[in-house]
Amino acid sequence: MSVGAAMWDDLRNRAEGVRDRRIAGLLNEDRARDFAVEACGLHFDYAKTNIDAETRDFLIGMTEAAGLAAARDAMFAGRPINDTEGRAVLHTALRNLDGGRVMVAGQDVMPRVLGTLARMEGFARSVREGPFRGQGGRITDVVNIGIGGSDLGPAMAVQALAPWHDGPRCHFVSNVDGAHIADILRPLDPGTTLVVVASKTFTTAETMTNAETAKAWMAQDVRDPTAQFVALSSAPDRTSAFGIPETRVFGFEDWVGGRYSMWGPIGLSLMLAVGTEAFRAFLRGAAEMDRHFRAADPVGNMPVMLALTGIWHNQGCGYATRAVLPYEQRLARLPAYLQQLEMESNGKRVSMDGRPLNVDSGPVVWGEPGTNGQHAFYQLIHQGTRIVPCEFMVGARGFEEELTHQHRLLIANCLAQAEALMQGRTLDEAKAQLSGRYEGAELDRQAAHRVFPGNRPSVMLLYDRLTPDVLGAIVALYEHRVFVEGVLLGINSFDQWGVELGKELARSLEPVIAGEADAADKDASTAALVRWLRRHGA
Ligand SMILES: O=P(O)(O)OC[C@H]1O[C@](O)(CO)[C@@H](O)[C@@H]1O
Looking at domain 98-280, its CATH class is alpha beta
Q: How far apart are alpha carbons 92 and 288 in whole angstroms?
A: 11
Please work out whether the CB of residue 150 comes within 6 Å of at least one atom of ligand 1.
yes
Catalytic, 479? Answer no
Strand order in the sheet with 193-198: 169-173, 141-145, 193-198, 229-233, 249-251
pLDDT value, residue 147: 98
Q: What is the pLDDT of residues 456-468, one digit of tens each?
A: 999 999 999 999 9
* Number of residues assigned to the chain: 538
Average pLDDT along the chain: 97
Closest Cα partner for 154 from 163, 144, 142? 144
- As a whole number of angstroms, the distance between CA 458 and CA 46 comes to 7
Helix or strand or coil: residue 250? strand
Tell me the Cα Rg of the chain. 25
Known catalytic residue: 503? yes
pTM over 0.95: yes
Tell me if 361 CB under 6 Å of ligand 1.
Answer: no
Residue 353 has pLDDT above 80, yes or no: yes
Q: Tell me which of 89, 200, 495 to substitute to probe ligand 1's pocket, judged by most ligand atoms within 8 Å of the beta carbon.
A: 200
User: Tens digits of per-residue pLDDT, 45-67?
Assistant: 999 999 999 999 999 999 999 99
CATH code that applies to domain 5-81+281-371+388-413+455-497: 3.40.50.10490
Q: What is the full DSSP assignment across 408-447?
A: HHHHHHHHHHHHHHHH-B-HHHHHHHHBTTB-HHHHHHHH
Interval 97-121: pLDDT, tens? 987 999 998 999 999 999 999 999 9
Is position 375 annotated as part of the catalytic site? yes
User: Per-residue pLDDT tens for 115-133?
Assistant: 999 999 999 999 999 899 9
Burial of 118 (0-12, 13-18, 19+ CB in 10 A): exposed
- pLDDT value of residue 105: 87
What is the CA 258 to chain-centroid distance, rounded? Answer: 12
CA of 149 to the centre of ligand 1 (A): 6
**Closest atom of ligand 1 to CA, residue 152:** 16
- If you take atom 9 of ligand 1, which residue's CA is the nearest one? 148
- Look up the ipTM and state it: 0.98
**Nearest-atom index, ligand 1, CA of 499:** 12
What's 499-535's CATH class?
Answer: mainly alpha
Residue intervals of the chain classified under CATH 3.40.50.10490 are 5-81+281-371+388-413+455-497, 98-280
pLDDT higher than 90, residue 475: yes
Contact call for residues 362 and 314 (beta carbons, < 8 A): yes
- What is the torsion angle, in degrees rounded to the nearest 10, for the CA atoms of residue 70, residue 71, residue 72 and residue 77? 80
Question: pLDDT at residue 487 above 90?
Answer: yes
pLDDT of residue 520: 85
What atom of ligand 1 comes closest to residue 496's alpha carbon? 14
The answer to whether 188 touches 117, Cβ cutoff 8 Å, is no
Q: How far is the CA of 146 from the centre of ligand 1 (A)?
A: 8
Q: What is the DSSP letter of 351?
A: -
- Assess whether pLDDT exceeds 90 at residue 1: no
The CA–CA distances, whole Å, from 493 to 1, 71, 105, 351, 503 equal 16, 12, 21, 10, 20
* Tens digits of residue pLDDT in 212-222: 999 999 999 99
**What pLDDT is stored for residue 98 in this prediction?**
86
pLDDT in tens, 176-224: 999 999 999 999 999 999 999 999 999 999 999 999 999 999 999 999 9
Residue closest to 339 by CA, chosen among 364, 376, 373? 364
pLDDT at residue 60, rounded to an integer: 98
Q: From ligand 1's centre to the CA of 253, what distance in Å? A: 14
430, amino acid identity: A
Could you tell me the pLDDT band of residue 2, with boundaries at 50, 70 and 90? confident
What does each C-alpha distance from 475 to 230, 254, 307, 329, 422 come to in angstroms?
26, 21, 14, 16, 27
Q: Which one is predicted more confidently, 484 or 521?
A: 484
* C-beta 201 within 6 A of ligand 1: yes
**What pLDDT band is residue 254 in, cutting at 50, 70 and 90?**
very high
The pLDDT, as a whole number, for residue 386 is 97
Chain region(s) in the chain for CATH 1.10.1390: 499-535
Active-site entry in 16, 129, 503, 510: 503
Instruction: Name the DSSP letter for residue 350.
Output: B
